[in-house]
Structure 1
């Protein structure tokens, strides 16, 4: 996963697909999120559950433990190691969903340049990325070191065949189970390892190279090019 994504529809559009009955506690507002070209360190909308309520918070993409200040904050965590490695031990049980519209990958072109591709669900619905992080609850205020990482798995071929990693994406049903604090950590690990959406759930197309500059934003960045 290259580390670039889109999150442009409104938070209520994402939550509606999850069909969670209780009212959303919304700290990101009702307007469209309008991130067409989000890069690492961008503050994005994330969903987490505390007791029986689902919260939408704005959280920075990237996290590191307090003892790792000498290195850059990772944006992704490998599913093979995230549940048992020391680096993410403090946040493994702090599960999030990062709802996005699509993500981008780059592939070498014949002219030695890098061609960007957009990847999204074939039904154009929300992409529910499995994530973990450090985030506020009803008992805690926001902290400077809050953030999240997206969990990635082996691409296993079939999706552009251009990158060895891709995000673990859940169906709406699995996303609800992932968010539920009652879901045991062992079950969450099995979901992340074996129950992410397969490549058949996605489609992809070329987009313009302007997406390579993270300063560029706008709906034209996600449009298909020849």
Structure 2
């Protein structure tokens, strides 16, 4: 996890879910994003706080430091290592929220193809995922972000052994707040992500496996099991 996600609501829906009392600097636009099948290396809507302004920007999903140009840019970072990893040292202090409607995982169920599953919050609210990255107010080729992942727990481990660290709105605001120290942020990420019971998951059409496919049919349940 997480290798594919959806952002189909508009940025204002995500900002409302976060509920931070700061002016919004929005470079994403006001219309629904309508992206049901978002792949790594593409630009994803991200929220970050800078100088008491909430920035909404489209940022490339994936990041690597300048000295690691010989390897692919990771899209995720393991919560157990990220705070002390030399690879992510430069961006660990630069926290962001990656607001998504859902993400997808693929499960080998013995068929000719792996079965894709959609995972989302049971209450219908956006998933406010913990992210870190390199950001600038003027788009740069060096900008990018990763989503922080943790071990799955409960029934979700049957879908995948990793999942994003998802915050409640209160903790998402604390994650972004500048007074939050890097040490406290690490403890938050290790211990305070939403529990498995907050989520539901169900199989969806295998068409989601092709990144060219879009549309709401990709998020329609085949049969609910979560």
Distance in structure 1 (CA, Å) of the matches to 2:24 and 2:78: 30
- Aligned with 1:202 (options 196, 199, 204): 199
Aligned pairs (5 A) from 1:6-25: 6-25=6-25
Distance in structure 2 (CA, Å) of the matches to 1:110 and 1:64: 35
Q: Does 1:181 align with 2:178?
A: yes
Deviates more, 1:102-111 or 1:54-63: 102-111
Structure 1: gaps (5+ residues): none
The structure with more helix, counted as a fraction of residues: 2
How far apart are 1:112 and its partner, in Å?
A: 4.0
**What is the aligned residue count?**
223
Q: Does 1:192 align with 2:192?
A: no
Distance in structure 2 (CA, Å) of the matches to 1:68 and 1:112: 37
Q: Give the 3-state SS of the residue equivalent to 1:150 in structure 2.
A: strand
Deviates more, 1:62-71 or 1:2-11: 2-11
Q: Give the 3-state SS of the residue equivalent to 2:88 in structure 1.
A: coil
Distance in structure 2 (CA, Å) of the matches to 1:78 and 1:107: 20
How far apart are 1:130 and its partner, in Å?
A: 0.2
Q: Give the 3-state SS of the residue equivalent to 1:133 in structure 2.
A: strand
Distance in structure 2 (CA, Å) of the matches to 1:190 and 1:112: 42
Deviates more, 1:52-61 or 1:158-167: 158-167
Distance in structure 2 (CA, Å) of the matches to 1:120 and 1:6: 10
Distance in structure 2 (CA, Å) of the matches to 1:63 and 1:190: 23
Distance in structure 2 (CA, Å) of the matches to 1:2 and 1:98: 12
Q: Give the 3-state SS of the residue equivalent to 1:124 in structure 2.
A: coil
How far apart are 1:2 and its partner, in Å?
A: 4.2
Structure 2: gaps (5+ residues): none
- The equivalent residue for 2:34 is 34
- The equivalent residue for 2:69 is 69
Q: Give the 3-state SS of the residue equivalent to 2:84 in structure 1.
A: coil
- The equivalent residue for 1:153 is 150
How far apart are 1:179 and its partner, in Å?
A: 0.8
Q: TM-score, normalised by structure 2?
A: 0.96
Q: TM-score, normalised by structure 1?
A: 0.96
Alpha-carbon contact 1:2-1:106 (below 8 Å) kept: no
- The equivalent residue for 1:124 is 124
- The equivalent residue for 2:109 is 109
For 1:1-43, what per-residue CA distance to the aligned partner results, in whole angstroms no more than 9, with x for missing partners? 1400001100000111122122211110101111100010110
Deviates more, 1:105-114 or 1:179-188: 105-114
